[in-house]
Amino acid sequence: MNIVYLCADRGIPVLGDKGASVHVREFTTALARAGHEVTLLCATQGKGNPYPPARLIELPPDADPAEIRREGKRLGIGPEDCDQTACREIDKLICDRRIAARAFDALDAAGVRPDALYERYALFHRSGGDLASALGVPYVLEVNAPLVYEQERFRGLRLKAMAEEAEVAAFHQADHVVAVSEAVREHVLSRRVPAKRVTVLPNGVDISRFHPQVDGQGVRQRLGIDGRSVIGFVGSLKPWHGLDFLLDAFMLVSRQSPEAVLLVVGEGPGSAALQSRATENGLGGKVIMTGRVPHEDIPGYLAAMDLTVAPYLPQDGFYFSPLKVVESLAVGRPVVAPRIGQLPSLIEDGVTGLLFPPGDLAACVGCILTLLNEPSQRQAMGHRAGEAAGGIFGWDKTARQVTDIIAAMRPGPM
């Protein structure tokens, strides 16, 4: 099939390092690997990683400040009230009104005649259905989070009613919705989308790059941690990742396992605070923060770890499908994580990792020490993790499931 993938979220640079960027690239790569022709329409191309095997067309936002001010006035938001948050949201509304026509023209200019439209849902965007209608093709919408809730809680949201209206419209226009977790599925169903039109497909992993045979020795030598116990974290260091909890756990672990180091791979809003706390507590030499690492190098860093931790804090409606958990398992590294949301379905307690009650610091520390102090158990878990991930979480499987959904909506043979 000829599939168009639309990512109108300007906060997701397709060639960037964040989990959402990886998701877009690896899923489109899996579609291409299955023999489909993929055209990727995105708001932000970004840089830092190789291009996926797709025709990539960037459609950056095109509203200017004067237009944003005029639209704000029309919405009853005067210049004195149009702060950065409001202007950003107005910009997205303007972008959404235009993107269907811009995308249609770009596809026409490129000579693309798609068989289906697959979109990653973006806040304030509802026109994917309009584009699919203009193209006359099935429309599948991927939902990764309850974005209105997430935006309001973590970043601020001025035009909440309009964001919710756009979300409901997008969900109902879609012929089928793909949710990355059961919690996200429940959110979609709460918008009165029929259950038969919603399928849960967790995040996957490229098992051709993430596998137990990856060698982490070079990373260990380069970082000067060869021969030491390495507790790892990989991520974008966002507020919900529980980095303070992780450092609290490591401080207690360090008392009983003084040779252990905490290797934090990635960069984000929590980087400076984590480094500062580590230094203040005399752990500067034991907490190693790499900063940005290209995603193509992540397998080697995971292989340099003895175990990884997903230190999420307790929260209602935990909706994440953590990409780095699946990648860690695929490389054969057991994961320590709270028993919350989708995590128990990704990590088999006592088999591919260890689970603890959410927020229970002592239990988390106990899990880490168990794996550090019992290398044979840790290695056995890692072996089983690699085997399980290879058979369950491959992006190729996800791509097949999505194309089966599309094929069922298309008339005639695929």
Give pLDDT tens digits for 127-142. 999 999 999 999 999 9
When pLDDT is averaged across residues 297-313 and rounded to a whole number, the result is: 97
Between the two ends of the chain, the Cα-to-Cα distance in Å is 7
C-alpha distances out from residue 179 to 6, 17, 70, 120, 192, Å: 16, 22, 36, 10, 15
Query: Letter for the amino acid at 244?
Result: D
pLDDT tens across 208-218, in order? 999 999 999 99
Round to whole Å and give the CA distance between 340 and 144: 17
Give the list of residues 6+ apart from residue 353 with CB closer than 8 angstroms, or none: 307, 329, 334, 335, 336, 337, 347, 381, 385
The pLDDT tens digits for 311-354 are 999 987 788 888 899 999 999 999 999 999 999 999 999 999 99
Please report where in the chains the tokens 């990653």 appear, as a residue: 120
Question: Residue 35 — φ and ψ, nearest 5°?
Answer: 100, 5
- Beta strand pairing call for 307-309 and 287-289: unpaired
User: Following DSSP, what letter does each residue of 360-413 receive, concatenated?
Assistant: -HHHHHHHHHHHHH-HHHHHHHHHHHHHHHHHHSBHHHHHHHHHHHHHHHSSS-
Asked if 241 and 272 count as a contact pair (C-beta separation under 8 A), the reply is no
Rounded-to-integer distance, Cα 90 and Cα 71, Å: 7
C-alpha closest to that of 154 among 293, 11, 252, 53: 11
pTM (two decimals): 0.89
The more confidently predicted of residues 4 and 411 is: 4
Least confident interval from 48-62, 80-94, 179-193: 80-94
pLDDT recorded at residue 412: 59
Q: What is the pLDDT of residue 414?
A: 44
Task: Take residue 383 and report the two structure tokens written for it.
Answer: 């072996």
User: Are 351 and 371 spatial neighbours (Cβ–Cβ below 8 Å)?
Assistant: no
Show the tokens assigned to 67: 């237009």
Token readout for 193 is: 């989308």
For the chain, list the domains and their CATH numbers.
2-204+395-409 (3.40.50.2000), 217-392 (3.40.50.2000)
Residue with tokens 């790892």: 232
Helices 160-173 & 84-109, crossing angle to 10 degrees?
30
Q: What are phi and psi of 337, to 5 degrees?
A: -155, 160
State how far the Cα of 299 lies from the Cα of 336, in Å rounded to an integer: 18
